Chain A
Amino acid sequence: MSDVTATDYSQEAQFDDYFALLKPRVMSLVVFTAAVGLLVAPIGVNPVIGFASILFIAVGAGASGALNMWWDADIDEVMKRTQTRPVPAGRITPRNAMILGLWLSVISVGMLGLTANWFAAGFLAFTIFFYAVVYTMWLKRSTPQNIVIGGASGAFPPMIGWAVATGGVSIESLLMFALIFIWTPPHFWSLALFMNEDYSKAGVPMLTVTHGKRITRRQIMRYTVLLVLVSLLTAFTSIGGPVYFITALALNALFLRGAWGLLKRAEAAAEADNYADERRFFKLSLVYLAGHFGALLLEATLRGLDLSPAIWLHLV
C-alpha cells in the first residue's frame, strides 16, 4: 500500500460497517451460484448441512472481501465508486479489516471442512487465497489481464457447492466455472468503459486504461463469442435440458447483439449519450448470469419432480 493521506479513524464503527466490509452484494452472488452448484449436483445433501455449507462459503467470500478492502484502501479512496466504503471513509482501520478477514477465513474454511468435507474446504481456502493474494495483491495493480484471471475467484463458488455435495469435480462443475469465468471480462470491461476515469485516476491498469476503449470493445466481443459456446454446451450435460437451452438461446442472442452494438459504436457517440448502451450491456450481463443459473436450478427442480423429458441429447 502506498502512503495514504491521513484518514480520520476517530469515528466509531457500527455493526453495519463491519457487514459492509464483507461486500454483501458480491456475497449474494456467491450464495446464489454456490447454492445452484450444490442443488444441481446428482447427490442430495441434508438441508441443514446444505444451508450451513452455503453460509460458510458466503462467510469465506466475505472474508476475502474484507482482505481486499484492507489492501485496496488507497485505491478505494481515490475511486468515486468505492470512496464511501468503511475503510476509506475512516470508520474502520485497515488493520481491523485485515484481522476480521483473516479470522473469518479461518472460521469459514474450518467450519466448511467439519460440516461438508475437506475437499470443499480446501477449495474455499484456495478461492480466498486466489482473490486476496493472486488478484488483489498481485494482478490488480500489475496487468490489464487482472480481471480475466482474477475472475476465477468469482467463478469457483458453484464448483465449491458441487464439491460439498459430491466431494469432487466433474465436467458439469467445470462448465459452471467456465460460464462465470468467461462472463467476467465482458461484465467488468463494460463497467470500465463508463468508469474509465475512476480507474485511470487510481492507477489500476484496466484494459480501457492501458489499451484504450477500441481494443476493450473488441475484447468484449471476443469473450462474448466464447461465452456463447460454453453456455450452449452446458445445455447438453446432465445438468442441462430444454428449459435451460431455450433460456440460454434467448440470453445469448441478447448478449451477442449487445456486444456487437458496443463493438460498432463510435467513441464520440458513446460519450454523447453518456455511455447509455454500455450501461445497458452491463445490466444485461447481470441478467444473463442470473438467468443461466436460475434455469439450471429450474432444470434440477424439474428432474426432482420427474418432469424433465426422457429424451434429451447428452454429449457428456
Chain B
Amino acid sequence: MDIRPDHELHQRRKKSNVMLGLVLGGFVVLVFAITVVKMLGGQNLEAFDHSVRPQLTEASQ
C-alpha cells in the first residue's frame, strides 16, 4: 500500500483525529480552569512581592 500524505486513508482518518484533538484540548482547558478555581478558593490570588503586607500577618487571618 502506497501511503502518501494525500492517501485516501488520511482523508478518512482526518475527522477522527481532529475530533480527538479537540476532546483532548478541551480536557486540558477544563483541568486548567478547575485548577484556577481551586487555587483561588473564592478569593484573589496574590503573588509574594518580597515585602510584608498586612494580609500576610497572623492578625489578619
Contacts and interface: CB of A to CB of B under 8 A. Distances in A.
Q: Do A and B come from one complex?
A: yes
A15 B37 contact: no
Most buried by B among A14, A15, A52, A115: A15
A14 B19 CA distance: 10
Chain B interface size, under 10 / 10 to 19 / 20 to 34 / 35 or more: 10 to 19
A179 to B, nearest CB: 30
Contacts, number: 22
Interface string B2-39: 00000000001101100110000000001001101100
Interface in A5-57: 12, 14-15, 46, 48-49, 52, 55
Contact of A12 (B12, B20, B36): B12
A14 B34 contact: no
Chain A interface size, under 10 / 10 to 19 / 20 to 34 / 35 or more: 10 to 19
Contact of A52 (B19, B34, B42): B34
A49 B37 contact: yes
A15 B30 contact: no
Contact of A15 (B15, B33, B36, B42): B15
Interface string B36-48: 1100001000000
A48 B20 contact: no
B34 A15 contact: no
B11 to A, nearest CB: 12
Nearest to B18: A15
B34 A49 contact: yes
B12 A15 contact: no
Most buried by A among B15, B16, B33, B34: B34
Contact of A48 (B12, B13, B19, B34): B34
B37 A14 contact: no
Interface string A164-194: 0000000000000000000000000000000
B30 A55 contact: yes
Contacts of A15: 15-16, 19-20
Given A48-B33, A55-B30, 9 more contacts: A12-B12, A12-B13, A14-B15, A15-B15, A15-B20, A46-B37, A46-B42, A48-B34, A49-B37
The 8 A-B pairs with the shortest beta carbon distances in the complex, nearest first, are A15-B19, A15-B16, A48-B37, A48-B33, A46-B37, A52-B34, A115-B34, A14-B16
